[in-house]
């Protein structure tokens, strides 16, 4: 994750997660966006909720509720499951975080404030998760829904595969065929 790619996509359509340029700003920006959002919507952005969001923002991957709970305990917050689940529920309800169903884990929203149908790309090698926009109602699923009369309220779109970084690693390892020039991967 020592990227330096000059590529810069439009903020709205940019898939966020793989290769972020300035990770510190992810956390700071994410927290202030959340703060603003809660203030303008009359929501209480309490210490636990803030801390959980901060924990999520610190990684571009999904964290299980019990991992979050451990970190909360380390920070002096309550250490029982409902503490984490309630905060996560708040964040998810208000569009500040998402649940990755495939992993039973949670990730900070990369586009807070925008009304969106998120889609996720999950790397099965390094566990990183990137968020993109989806438009499931416009594709085959939408057609099927219209054909049957099903009313879509919410969609889960998650792709599992290999992220560009791991893909490069795998490719160079295959080339080197055994000699380990590239960095190790957990």
Partner DNA sequence: GTCCTCCATGTGATCTTATAACGTTTCAAA
Partner DNA sequence: TTTGAAACGTTATAAGATCACATGGAGGAC
Binding site, annotated residues for Zn(2+)? 123, 126, 163, 166
Supply the DSSP string of 54-115, one letter for each residue.
Answer: HHHHT-SB-B-HHHHHHHHHHTTS--SHHHHHHHHHHHHHTTSEEEEGGGTEEEE-SSTTS-
Q: Is 163 helix (H, G, I), strand (E, B) or coil?
A: coil
Residues 65, 78: Cα–Cα separation, whole Å: 13
- Contact footprint for its own copies (CB under 8 A): 9, 13, 15, 18, 101-102, 104, 119, 121, 123-124, 130, 132-136, 138-141, 144-145, 147-164, 167
CB closer to its own copies, 160 vs 176: 160
Burial 37-60 (b: 16+ CB within 10 A, else e): bbeeeeeebeebbbbbbbbbbbbb
Query: Which of 27, 31, 33, 43 touches DNA by CB under 7 A?
Result: 43
If contact means CB under 5 to 8 A according to the sort of partner, which of DNA, its own copies, none does residue 63 touch? Answer: none
Residue 75 as a binder of DNA (CB under 7 A): the answer is no
Does residue 105 contact residue 120 with C-beta atoms inside 8 Å? no
If contact means CB under 5 to 8 A according to the sort of partner, which of its own copies, DNA, none does residue 82 touch? Answer: DNA
Residues 162, 185: Cα–Cα separation, whole Å: 13
If contact means CB under 5 to 8 A according to the sort of partner, which of its own copies, DNA, none does residue 86 touch? Answer: DNA
Smallest distance, Å, CB 60 to its own copies?
12
Residue 77 as a binder of DNA (CB under 7 A): the answer is yes
Residue 14 as a binder of DNA (CB under 7 A): the answer is no
If contact means CB under 5 to 8 A according to the sort of partner, which of DNA, its own copies, none does residue 79 touch? Answer: DNA
CA distances from 33 to 43, 84, 118 (A): 13, 21, 18
Contacts with DNA by CB under 7 A lie at: 43-44, 46-49, 64-67, 77-83, 85-87, 89-90, 99, 104-105
């Amino acid at each position: 994750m020592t990227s330096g790619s000059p590529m810069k996509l439009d903020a709205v359509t940019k898939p966020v997660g793989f290769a972020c340029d300035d990770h510190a700003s992810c956390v700071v920006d994410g927290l202030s966006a959340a703060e603003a959002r809660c203030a303008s919507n009359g929501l209480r952005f309490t210490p636990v909720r803030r801390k959980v969001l901060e924990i999520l923002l610190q990684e571009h991957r999904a964290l299980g509720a019990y991992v979050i709970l451990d970190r909360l305990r380390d920070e002096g917050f309550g250490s029982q499951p409902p503490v984490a689940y309630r905060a996560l529920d708040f964040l998810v309800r208000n569009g500040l975080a998402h649940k990755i169903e495939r992993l039973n884990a949670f990730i900070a929203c990369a586009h807070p404030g925008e009304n969106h149908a998120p889609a996720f790309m999950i790397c099965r090698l390094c566990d990183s998760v990137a968020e993109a926009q989806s438009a499931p109602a416009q594709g085959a699923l939408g057609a099927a829904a219209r054909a049957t009369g099903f009313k879509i309220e919410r969609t889960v779109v998650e792709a599992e595969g290999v992220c560009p970084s791991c893909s490069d690693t795998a490719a160079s390892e295959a080339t080197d065929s055994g000699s380990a020039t590239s960095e190790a991967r957990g």
